[in-house]
Structure 1
Amino acid sequence: MTGYDVLAEVYEWLISDAKLTPAEFAAAFADVTCLLPSNAQVLDCSCGTGQLAVGLAGLGMQVVATDASAAMVRRTERLAEETGASFLTVRADWEELTDHFGDASFDMVFCVGNSLHHAEGARGRVAALESMSRLLRRGGRLVLTSRNWELVRSRGSRLDISDRMVRRNGRDGLVIYRWEIAPQWEQEHRIEIAVVQVEGDGSVLVRSELLSCWPYQYGELESELHSVGLRVEKSTFDPEAEGYVVVATKE
C-alpha cells in the first residue's frame, strides 16, 4: 500500500458525515462488534486517521491500529491523545503484520476504508489477506469494505468533482477524484484525489495525491478469501451499489 502522506492532513474531507466521529464510525459496524466477547482483541489494519480505532476503544475493546502510512499513524495517535483513548499503534503494511503479532492474536480484524485495492495485484492481495487470516483466532472475523470495482471500471477514466462543499473543522473544501482506468483488470490503475480548501479570506489551498491501485471483481475476492481459510459469512455486494461490506470467518 502506498501514499496518503499528503492526504493524511485532509482525510476527514473524504469521510462521510455519518462516520465522522469515532462513536459514529464504530456504530456503523455494530452488527459485527455485537458478536465480540468483552475485552475483545481487535486489529484495525488500515486505521487511517483513527476514527474507527478510537471508537472501538471507546466500547471497551483492546485495540491495535496499524497503517502503511506513517502520516496516517501519526493522525491516529493525535486523535487518541485528544480523546483520551489508549491503544497500540504500529506503522506496518499488511504483509508486515505477522512480523509484529503472533498467529491467532485477534478476535476481529478490520480492513475498511476501501483500502485493499492498494495491494499490488492478485499476488499482493492474497498475501495481504493471508496475513490478516493468520492473525485471526479460529471463529474470528475479518470485516472488509470495498468499492464496487465493476461499476468503477464501467465508467472509464474521468474527472469526478463533488457537487457540494464539505465543511470540516470550520473550513470548506471541495473533493475531486481523477480516475485513470487501465485497459485490463490486472493492470495498475490510478486515482488522483484532491481536496481544495477554501479559506476564510477567500484564498484556496489544494492538497492532492496520486495513488496506485489494482482493482478486483467481487467473485475474485470471494475466491481469494476462501483460499486463505476465510469463509464469507455476510456480504452486502450489489452489482448496482457503489460499495459493499464483507464479513468473513476464520475456519
Structure 2
Amino acid sequence: MVVSSVGDFYDALAADYHLIFPDWDASMARQAAALDGLVRARLGAGPHRVLDCSCGIGTQALGLAGVGHRVVGGDLSPAAVARATAEAASRGVELPVAVADMRALPYRATAFDVVVCADNSLPHLLTADDVRTALVGMRRVLRDDGLLVLSVRDYDEIRAARPTSTSPQVSTTAQGRVITFQLWHWHDDGERYDLEHFQVIPAEGGGWEVRVRRTAYWALTRGELSAAVADAGFAEVSWHDPADSGFYQPVLTARRVP
C-alpha cells in the first residue's frame, strides 16, 4: 500500500474533515470544555496563551478561542490551515494560523502558557528521534511551569488487540448521509500501522463516491509516551481518562520545568 506524506493526507482531507463528526460544532464545543477544564485546573482561570501545534481545520483551536483563550494555530497542511482560517473568520473568532511542522515550531521561546497537540497527531511521527525533536520544541516555546496537553488513541489496548478496522460513523449533510471508517494494516513490528481512511459520500445524480486517503501512525503506549515526555524535560506527567476529563481520547498533561 502506498502511504502519502502526512501533509498530503491532511491536504486531501481538509475539505471533508468535519464529516468525521456527526455534528462538528457540537464536538468542537465538548472538546473545548474538556480541554479548558484541564487547563484551568492546572493554570487557573486565564485566559491563557495557547499554541495548538497540530490544529488541522481548527477543531480544538476554534473551541479554545471561543471560550476566551488567546490561541495560535500551526499545522503541516496548507489546506487545513486555509480551512481553519476561513472557519475562524466565519465565526468571528480571532485565530492566527501558520503552516508549521511540530518538529520545527517557528515561535519564540517561552511564548505560550499552554501547548496543545491533540487528536492523535504526535503518533504520525514514526521514529523516537522525531518524537523527541517535537517534544523538545514544544517545551522550548512554553514558559516555565507551562502546560503540555497531548491526546492520543488508547494505544495500550490497541497494541494488545491490533484491530484491523474501525466502526463506521455516519454524519448527515444537506446532500445526504456520509459514512466514515478506517482500515488498519499493521507492520511486522506490531507497533506501527498504515491507515486507509474511507469516506462514502452521496454523489451528484445518485449513487456514491468513495474517497480514500492513506497515512501511517506509531501506536505509542502510555508508558512509552510518558517516558518520552519526561526525557524531553517535562515533569508532573499525568494521564486523564475520557470518563474523568470528558475528552474523547486519553489526555496526557505535563509541566515545563526550568
TM-score class, shorter-chain normalisation, is 0.7 to 0.9
Change (3 A) 1:23 1:237: closer
1:120 partnered with 2:126: yes
Letter aligned with residue 26 of structure 1: A
CA distance in 2, matches of 1:112, 1:206: 27
Segments of structure 2 that go 5 or more residues without pairing to the other structure are 243-247
Change (3 A) 1:245 1:170: farther
- The within-5 A match list for 1:41-120 is 41-97=49-105, 100-120=106-126
Segments of structure 1 that go 5 or more residues without pairing to the other structure are none
| 1:85-131 CA distance string (max 9 Å, x none) | 1221111111120xx21111100011001111101211111111111
Runs of 4+ in 1 over 6 A off after TM superposition: none
Give the corresponding residue for 1:230: 234
1:212 partnered with 2:220: no
Letter aligned with residue 136 of structure 2: E
CA distance in 2, matches of 1:190, 1:232: 32
CA distance in 2, matches of 1:89, 1:81: 12
TM-superposed deviation, 1:10? 1.3
1:225 is paired with a residue of what secondary structure? Answer: helix
Between the aligned residues of both structures, percent identity stands at: 30
Change (3 A) 1:49 1:206: same
TM-superposed deviation, 1:167? 1.8
CA distance in 2, matches of 1:85, 1:91: 19
Give the corresponding residue for 2:245: none
CA distance in 2, matches of 1:21, 1:113: 12
Mapped contact 2:199–2:212 kept (Cα < 8 A): yes
CA distance in 1, matches of 2:65, 2:174: 23
Change (3 A) 1:194 1:27: same
CA RMSD of aligned residues (A): 2.4
CA distance in 2, matches of 1:80, 1:18: 14
Mapped contact 1:73–1:89 kept (Cα < 8 A): yes
| 1:169-198 CA distance string (max 9 Å, x none) | 664111121101112146x42111111112
Give the corresponding residue for 1:191: 195
CA distance in 2, matches of 1:109, 1:69: 18
Give the corresponding residue for 2:11: 5
2:165 is paired with a residue of what secondary structure? Answer: strand
Mapped contact 1:6–1:208 kept (Cα < 8 A): no
1:172 partnered with 2:177: yes
- The within-5 A match list for 1:157-168 is 158-162=164-168, 165-168=170-173
Q: TM-score, normalised by structure 2?
A: 0.85
Mapped contact 1:171–1:199 kept (Cα < 8 A): no
1:30 partnered with 2:36: yes
CA distance in 2, matches of 1:36, 1:66: 24
Mapped contact 1:18–1:25 kept (Cα < 8 A): no
Mapped contact 1:182–1:189 kept (Cα < 8 A): yes
Mapped contact 1:25–1:52 kept (Cα < 8 A): yes
Mapped contact 2:18–2:24 kept (Cα < 8 A): no
Q: TM-score, normalised by structure 1?
A: 0.87
